[in-house]
Chains A and B, each alone.
Chain A
């Protein structure tokens, strides 16, 4: 495999990626030389990455290495941080998402996000799901809306638990249920990509398993990028894994490859350190 250069690994070369039984398919999103500055300090030092359609890619790395920062570049959530500045190019279906002519509202409808801490709206379960479709005018009447709510909740595996209390506040659910509610809310607007930032860090093992199964089920129809500190989780759910270190993308390859045969010593140190 030769010497891995710091930022650009096989990532930028889909041909070489093929050899590792990576998901075949189109490039859904790609990042080129993405740098993020918080004020004067540079948090990401030029990231290059391609994310394929309908794959699950996991971001791992020590705390503070820039996983969340990079994830937020993919749906421009960094725009909401006053001090943050992004340079470089990020595309979705070959469209530059930082192009001034692109409406960030539309982008976020295409690239949904699930946050580390479950953050349902302090409204009813129904309203939580219905908000997105209504906002984007995806439905014409109440029946359609109810259909979307039901199907989203079903996909998130929450329907049976809440179908009798759709009017109950979303904040009254358990942590795991809340997180699934947030996932249902994200998929209710039929995004193409779902970004998840440590979605299970606040959950117990059972709820975690449910969410992991959910991710497994979603991956046929959604492209998913997930940040996790849980190596087993990365190994279980992802097709490919990206290892970040100090603002650099050190290595990105098939998950099995990363865990069995890491190319970079930093990756190896990190993984073995975790696995003991």
Chain B
């Protein structure tokens, strides 16, 4: 079976004025279906850059990246957009919901860009919101929801199109510990239901909820271990 994510010697350099920052410096990484991987490392170690690479939001400079067997570096921007909507579910630290739309409309959005019919879109979005326990908050705007509820809307949005990979970048970073725990429990649950989850965090305690832990430092993988 082909791996979901397969990176070989992947490099990404940012130019900051006169200096170059090697955000990713030779990443070799394989992630298979049904894994629950956490990526940890100090701030500035390249975690978000790696997530953007996996999520096809950014282009690599060197090396190769195959997503479900497809060479991503070869694809046009509209193909990449399609891949993002079908294969990746993003969960961000700052929730990144559209403040003018209701919870339901936010969750519907990925389906809009996949040209789902109005009826199917509504049905799937409601199902996803029910799954994260917000079946009674469909028509609330983000500002009318707590931080934890907003992040659950974001999870519903990540799930709604049934993508093979869910990418979460510090999903608990903006939450109090109680809501943070709820969100983590939900991710563990989702993994049990058969979703592949890649979780980025700088919190080693949270990292240990995952099955596999990858440690990043200065753009390199320094550790890649199974967690008991």
A and B associate in one complex:
no
Chain A residues in the interface with B (C-beta under 8 A): none
List B residues at the A interface (Cβ < 8 Å): none
